[in-house]
Chain A
Amino acid sequence: MRSSVSPAPARFTDLGIRIAGVCTVLAVFELTARTGLLPRAWFPPISEMYLELGKLAFGWPLWVEIGRTLSGWALGIGLAAVLAIPLGIALGTNNLAYRLSKAVIEFLRPVPSVALIPLAVLVYGTGLEMKTFLIAFATFWPILLQTIYGVQGVDPVAMDTARCYGLPQSARFTQIIAPSAAPFIATGLRIASAIALVLAITAELVVGAPGLGQAIIVAQSGANATRMYALIIVAGLLGWALNSCFQFVERRLLRWHPAQRGEEGR
């Protein structure tokens, strides 16, 4: 968005520089593989990876795998959001409840979620439920904390004014709390999206739940290095696409918010 304020010619130069940067990196990888700096069996030239990627993209299986990974991702985040946002609002508005639960939150939040993989496998098996549970647990915390911060950060003057004018509770919520906490919750969801993808891929890699991660392992054990790299590239593109989507939606929906406007004006 930064480029949106610069005049058109500068934007074109920027685009040129970006393309040049990408091309340089790709060329370096291509050369290391072609000259044998990295053994070719382990690291094929990047052009071959993209050829393989192109072939995969026209086949059905790749999209099925992506769909499997994304379904765990979506279910997990959805579940976490449904639980964390109301709880966060409750804890953010009620100081007593916040103090009561603070220690539990502070202790559970830094627990590395991947440590729960074995437990999740025991209880839920290796399917979609396991993935959903893991992702929901891991993404619950960032969403909860961001919601609490957002609600606690509501301008007290605005709240007091509303109370003085006798605004009913529901109106205070929809008119003041919800709008001012919304950007925080959006950030929480964006953070959650990245975490969820990492966990989905991890669960598929480690446990063998069906999805992109498992496909990567299968390609690796089948000594199909080119396909493995193509799939890794897919994973990166997927993460990038999800992140961009969230950023785009955030900008659109929260255009009115000062934080967003500040970012655009920079």
Chain B
Amino acid sequence: MTRRIGYLLLPAILPIAVLLGYGIWSIPAQNFYFPPLPEIIGFFRDIWLFDRIGSDLVPSLARMLSAYAISIGLGVPIGLALGFSRLLRTACEPVVEFLRALPAPALIPFALLIFGAGNGSKLFVIVLGAIWPILLNSLDGARGVDRTQLDMARSYQVPRLARLRHIVLPAASPRIFAGMRTSLAIALILMVVSEMVASSHGLGYFVLQAQRSFAIPEMWTGIILLGILGFLLNAIFLRIENRVLFWHRAVTRKRPTKARSEATDA
């Protein structure tokens, strides 16, 4: 029994040790760049509970999530269409390869010119970075659909929409989800980047501004909040994925879908 508890507690040891170590080191060290832990925690409470939530956190999250939704809304249908049409796929391949390889932050100046400094440019940059894993995984998912099943459904004259709903989507969904998870991380990164350039609020703006005015503890609170955000978003996503794909996990236990190698989670 005690062995089991020890086994379960094992993963918690290192994080606690790291935090304790930093706490003990930072108080006497008085390093300007690495302020004491209690000070950071105090500032965190002052700033993020709940003073700047409405002005910085909510707009950032809203932008990120709406851009993420747009990426899914565009990426899945386009990806499926490309997966099913060989002609379209071949024709679009070079363009897709180029746009996918283009580092999305390089498009910020372009977005600023076309959409101005408002929400439009930020959404554009996030979507243009986050759509590719979803699109490419949908494409692969569509190509992986069992042809016999599709042919049979066609010969039984199952309507097109029902074929999409009952055959294509279930077969492609593990891949689509793998792409969506990658995209979530990318969307978060691009949210921060897009707010660091030409912005007046948002988390990215806050962190960079704090650094530029040498408000070091404030900067740390922003970094920590972003870390927590990344962790939480990932955890929530995994829960949803587990719920939606329970049948897949059950059928192919121990064979988690490997994201297509574009999996760029940073």
Contact = CB atoms under 8 A, between A and B. Distances in A.
A236 B229 CA distance: 30
Interface string B205-237: 001101110001001101100110111011000
B31 to A, nearest CB: 10
A232 B226 contact: no
Interface string A193-208: 0110111111001100
A206 B265 CA distance: 21
Interface string B129-172: 10000000000000000000000000000000000000000000
B59 interface: no
B117 to A, nearest CB: 13
Interface string B163-207: 000000000000000000000010011011100110000001001
Contact of A201 (B14, B92, B106, B220): B106
A103 B109 contact: no
Interface residues of B, number: 65
A199 to B, nearest CB: 7
A21 B90 CA distance: 8
Contacts of B95: 21-22, 25
Given A118-B223, A197-B103, A205 B108 contact: yes
A206 B108 CA distance: 10
A202 B196 CA distance: 10
Given A115-B227, A191-B264, A202 B105 contact: yes
Interface in B78-106: 87, 90-95, 97-99, 101-106
Contacts of B10: 96, 99-100
Contact of B223 (A115, A197, A198, A243): A115
B25 interface: no
Interface string B96-130: 01110111111111101110000000000000010
Nearest to B260: A187
Contacts of A231: 106
B265 A109 contact: yes
A100 B15 CA distance: 9
Contact of B18 (A104, A113, A117, A212): A104
Given A112-B226, A198-B104, A232-B102, A104 B15 contact: yes
Given A21-B90, A201-B106, A229-B110, A100 B13 contact: yes
Given A107-B227, A113-B189, A115-B227, A216 B265 contact: no
A110 B98 contact: no
B90 A110 contact: no
Given A110-B231, A112-B192, A118-B223, A21 B107 contact: no
A236 B105 contact: no
A173 interface: no
Given A42-B114, A114-B193, A235-B103, A103 B265 contact: no
Given A21-B93, A38-B114, A194 B264 contact: yes
A139 B92 contact: no
B228 to A, nearest CB: 9
Contacts of A18: 90-91, 93-94
A43 B243 CA distance: 46
Contact of A206 (B94, B197, B220): B197
A82 interface: no
Interface stretch (A59-67, A119-127, A154-162, A163-171): A119-127
B46 interface: no
Contacts of A139: 266
Contacts of A38: 114
Interface in A84-121: 96, 99-104, 106-119, 121
A246 to B, nearest CB: 10
A195 B101 contact: no
Interface of A: 14, 17-18, 20-22, 24-25, 38, 42-43, 96, 99-104, 106-119, 121-123, 138-139, 141-142, 187, 190-191, 194-195, 197-202, 205-206, 212-213, 216-217, 219-220, 225, 228-229, 231-232, 235-240, 242-243
21 contacts: A17-B91, A18-B93, A25-B95, A102-B11, A109-B265, A110-B230, A110-B265, A115-B192, A116-B223, A117-B208, A119-B33, A122-B211, A191-B264, A205-B105, A225-B113, A235-B103, A236-B101, A236-B102, A238-B101, A240-B97, A242-B101
Query: What are the nearest 6 A-B pairs in CB distance?
Result: A118-B211, A239-B101, A21-B91, A236-B102, A110-B230, A240-B101
